[in-house]
Structure 1
Amino acid sequence: MAQNIERVEAIMTAAPVIAVLIVNDPKKAVPMAEALVRGGIPGIEITLRTPNALDCIKAVADNVEGALVGAGTVLNHQQYEASVKAGSTFVVSPGATDNLIAAAEDFPQAPLLPGAGTASEVMKLLEAGYERLKFFPAVPAGGTPMLKGLSSPLAAAKFCPTGGINLGNARDFLALPNVLCVGGSWIADAKAIESEDWAGIEKRACEAAALTV
């Protein structure tokens, strides 16, 4: 089963940035997500890097109107299934394996945005019917020059670069023809979440939502 490109692209184009988050407290996840949505960033990727990440996804899915919440750092079928049960509307992975692609076929309601960092990885995903990809880790993997190099020979692939993206360089990535959005953690980093700086998160979300090229 090929990727549901229409559904994935709707998430990728909802705003210039998808917020990539590490959060462990469901009680903080809700006001955090509300601040992001108020600021114009509905795409919220909660990474499975904390013990309570799934509970945070469920809290946002159940309580935050307008949020497009997904799970990040998904590595296998078990995590994929748990993410969908928690309420994820999309799933993001740092790379791609045959098992993960198979998991995505089992849960079409939550399409996969798989990671790729080389031309060969992109080609393999294109062969599997995946045209909307995460470019990861974006800056270490070659940044904008690498994406420019991929744009002509692999024109069908459109990306969400993630890894090393910030307010200062996001516009450079967004200017590329094969970039639909970027993923970034600067909008709501761990310090801001821990200190409950919802006003600061909303302010940075507004700045991110206003990024244009």
Structure 2
Amino acid sequence: MAQNTERLEAIMTAAPVIAVLIVNDPHKAVAMAQALIRGGIPGIEITLRTPNALDCIKAISDSVEGALVGAGTVLTHHQYEAAVKAGSTFVVSPGATDNLIAAAEEFTQVPLLPGASSPSEVMKLLEIGYERLKFFPAVPAGGTPMLKSLSSPFAAAKFCPTGGIHIGNANDFLALPNVLCVGGSWIADARAIETEDWVGIEQRAREAAALIV
């Protein structure tokens, strides 16, 4: 069974940036998501790196209209299932395993954006029908030169580079023909969330939403 490309691409093209976030307080997560939406960034990836990450996903899913909230750093079938139950609209993983692909085939309504950083990994994912991929870790794995080199031999693959992306280099990635969006944490970093800097988050979201596509 192939990737749910149509549903995933709609999420990837909703804005130039998917906000990648580490948050543990569901109340703050809701206020943060509202600020992102006001700024024009609906794609929200809550990484499963805190004890209450799933609760944060559920809170956003239940109460923030227009949010396309997903779960990131999903490593196992169990985490995938839990992310779906929490209300995720998509799932992101730093890589791809048979176990994760099996979970994606079980929960086709919640598509998987799997990570890849080498030609062999891209080839394996294309072989099983996965054409929308996360390029991770983007900058350490070769940045824009690496993505350019992947464009010609793998024309069907379109990427969301994540890892080392910020407002200063995001346009360099977005200008590439095989990049649909980028993932970044600069819009709402841990300090901004902890200090409840919703105004600052909204402003950075507006800047991100205005990036080239």
TM-score scaled by length of structure 2: 0.99
2 CA distance for matches of 1:109 and 1:52? Answer: 24
Q: Which residue of 2 aligns with 1:171?
A: 171
2 CA distance for matches of 1:156 and 1:109? Answer: 22
| 3-state SS of 1:145 partner | helix
Residue identity matched to 2:3: Q
| Cα offset, 1:88, TM superposition | 0.1
Deviations 1:154-191 (CA, angstroms, capped at 9, x unpaired):
11100000000000000000000000000000000000
Could you list the structure 1 runs, at least 4 aligned residues long, displaced by more than 2 angstroms after superposition. none
2 CA distance for matches of 1:40 and 1:122? Answer: 31
**Residues 39, 205 of structure 2: 8 Å contact kept:** yes
TM-score scaled by length of structure 1: 0.99
2 CA distance for matches of 1:32 and 1:71? Answer: 16
| Cα offset, 1:109, TM superposition | 1.1
| Cα offset, 1:212, TM superposition | 1.1
2 CA distance for matches of 1:9 and 1:145? Answer: 23
Residue identity matched to 2:20: V
Structure 1 vs Structure 2: percent identity of aligned residues? 86
Q: Which residue of 2 aligns with 1:152?
A: 152
1 CA distance for matches of 2:51 and 2:26? Answer: 11
RMSD over equivalenced CA pairs, Å: 0.5
| Cα offset, 1:89, TM superposition | 0.3
Residue identity matched to 1:181: C
Q: Which residue of 1 aligns with 2:36?
A: 36
1 CA distance for matches of 2:212 and 2:178? Answer: 15
Deviations 1:51-89 (CA, angstroms, capped at 9, x unpaired):
000000000000000000000000010000000000000
Q: Which residue of 2 aligns with 1:51?
A: 51
1 CA distance for matches of 2:4 and 2:56? Answer: 25
Consecutive unaligned residues in structure 2, runs of 5 or more: none
